[in-house]
Amino acid sequence: MKAYFIILAIILTSLTFRSQTYKPFPNDSATWGFHKSNPSGPTYVREIVKGDTVLGEKNYHKAYSNVNTNSLVGFYREFGKKIYAKVYLYPDTSEILIYDFNLNAGDTFYDKRYDPNLSQSFYYKYVLNNITTTTLTTDVRKQYNFNFVGYQGTSSSYSNLGGACNFFWIEGIGSLKGIFNNRAQGEGTLCHVAALVSNASFVTLQCFEHKSIQYMSNSCITLNQKEITDELVFKLYPNPANEFLNFEPYTDYADNKVLIYNSIGQLVKEEIINKNYVDVKDLPAGVYLLHLLNSERNNKSSHTRFIIAR
């Protein structure tokens, strides 16, 4: 009799999942808001999707982030419950499958990544442990819970990551750490550190809004208002650069610290500046991340990417 009820519960759970209407990814007018408990850059991070573009005869939706002063960070499209992406400035320029909502418990998902040390792509290997549900303020969504089980196509340094790389997706929302499933321009060996949202191991999703509907208890508008006071805003030009990088429109240049990192996260330049530019003639061609810290504003900081072209 006990076995009968167990089988009946499994059948009812399966039917419940099947009866739920699939929630697709938003294709416009959506905002994700994240909070960083150990901030580097803005404490409150916003990602938005707005507008479309055509790449390789395929239509993509454009995503922006305030981590890079509201700049374009990538593109995605959905086809057959699969989300494909191209990440701006990511070393692997091919289309990458970042979500697959067709998976069932026990299925394997190969998450394509890039090893900057070996200059090659590799895969994190995950098994879908189970599918549960997440209750939002106005909706119930499927939650896909994955366990990290290994890697494929790179060095043994990726073999002992264990639970640090476990994660879950929420249908129609994605990862708790960013639209692009923790994928960064320069990835280390830890899954949870590699993200367009800096310090991703300390990042949690706080709000999700689509077409003015608030799906979580927090409002993304509230997060965005707080973020204004926590963030230094500046632009770099020219980008790509050759000899000098100029800062604009931020004008308080007294004792600012500039930190520049290369594509594999190495600090390649550290300088205190009292001017509105930094000399980059000594840097080889490549993609870099620049942090600007201001001592007069309690070391508030912001950062953005730039390219050196020779």
**Per-domain residue ranges for the chain?**
2-228, 232-308
Contacts of 243 (CB under 8 A, 6+ apart): 279, 280, 281
Q: Does 74 or 195 have the greater pLDDT score? A: 74
Q: When comparing pLDDT for 135 and 35, which is higher?
A: 135
- For the cut 60, the answer to whether the pLDDT of residue 301 exceeds it is no
| Mean pLDDT, rounded, for 40-56 | 80
- Return mean pLDDT, the chain: 76
Q: What pLDDT, in 10s, does the model give residues 88-142?
A: 777 788 899 999 999 999 999 998 887 777 778 888 889 999 999 988 887 899 9
CATH number of this structure's domain 232-308, picked from the four choices 3.20.20.70, 3.30.413.10, 2.60.40.3580, 3.40.50.300 = 2.60.40.3580
201 or 43: which leads in pLDDT: 43
pLDDT of residue 112: 86
Q: What is the pLDDT of residue 298?
A: 42
Share of the chain above pLDDT 90, in %: 23
Q: What is the pLDDT of residue 170?
A: 93
Confidence tier at 194 by pLDDT (50, 70, 90): very low
Question: Among 78-87, 92-101, 224-233, where is mean pLDDT lowest?
Answer: 224-233
The whole-number pLDDT of residue 230 equals 39
- pLDDT at position 54 over 80: yes
- Ranking 44-58, 160-174, 274-288 by mean pLDDT, the lowest is 160-174
Per-residue pLDDT band for 75 (boundaries 50, 70, 90) equals: very high
pLDDT above 60: residue 59: yes
Residue with the larger pLDDT of the pair 14 and 275: 275
Over range 212-235, report the average pLDDT.
64
